[in-house]
Amino acid sequence: AQSVAQPEDQVNVAEGNPLTVKCTYSVSGNPYLFWYVQYPNRGLQFLLKYITGDNLVKGSYGFEAEFNKSQTSFHLKKPSALVSDSALYFCAVKKAAGNKLTFGGGTRVLVKP
Amino acid sequence: GAVVSQHPSWVICKSGTSVKIECRSLDFQATTMFWYRQFPKQSLMLMATSNEGSKATYEQGVEKDKFLINHASLTLSTLTVTSAHPEDSSFYICSAREGANSYNEQFFGPGTRLTVL
């Protein structure tokens, strides 16, 4: 079975400070990892993904994530948070061979001015 | 980016009636579409996966006769909740994936909130 853990229900950060949203996963075989963001009354938006290659993945809106195989983690980061980054963030994993995408419980990010 | 629409965005129905939700990929062809359910303050749970022109694959615990899925074209999938009951009230979200590669990201619709009275 595959699973994703996002240990923090909420992350509070001041605008301009670095933002980190944690994610660990469990899956058999090679993982495909994804980050999505959900704004109120809008669908999930794709941020970035890791498939293979460089462990540091850069995505939309200045976000990046680092794949760490030994720690089975895929933490999302942004060097300088904006108030507009306040949203609900989901980490997701799937087996390389398979369709099912399993989501973490989500982490709400609140960026204060 | 790729756009996925859902219709309706919200629906209220009486217990025992059926409700159909449409999911459309607007600017790409979706070989595979997915239907999720999201409970308040919880994550998305995959209900079923459908490939164009074939029967949907349902996740364990999801009643296929209750949640009818049709993926008749590369841009349209429908979810019909049959004989709806209050416990079916939820937020239903579809997603679509372009092409056959499983590493392609899914693009999500805005969701449909179903309330069964």
A50-75 per-position pLDDT tens digit: 999 999 999 999 999 999 999 999 99
Does residue A1 belong to the interface with chain B, where contact is any CB pair within 8 Å?
Answer: no
Element containing residue A102 per DSSP (H, E): strand A102-103
Q: Is the dihedral of CA B62, B82, B70, B4 positive or negative?
A: negative
Write down the pLDDT at residue B2.
85
B50-74 per-position pLDDT tens digit: 988 888 999 999 999 999 999 889 9
> pLDDT below 50 — which residues of chain B?
none
Torsion-angle region of residue B86: left (phi > 0), alpha (psi -120 to 50) or beta? alpha
Instruction: Answer whether residue A40 shows pLDDT above 90.
Output: no
Write down the pLDDT at residue B1.
67
Write down the pLDDT at residue B104.
85
Does residue B44 belong to the interface with chain A, where contact is any CB pair within 8 Å?
Answer: yes
| Angle, CA A88 vertex, CA A55 and CA A35 arms, to 5° | 20
Write down the pLDDT at residue B99.
80
A89, two tokens: 């963030």
Does residue B110 belong to the interface with chain A, where contact is any CB pair within 8 Å?
Answer: yes
Phi (first) and psi of residue A60, to 5 degrees: -75, 155
Nearest chain B residue to A10 by CA distance is B41
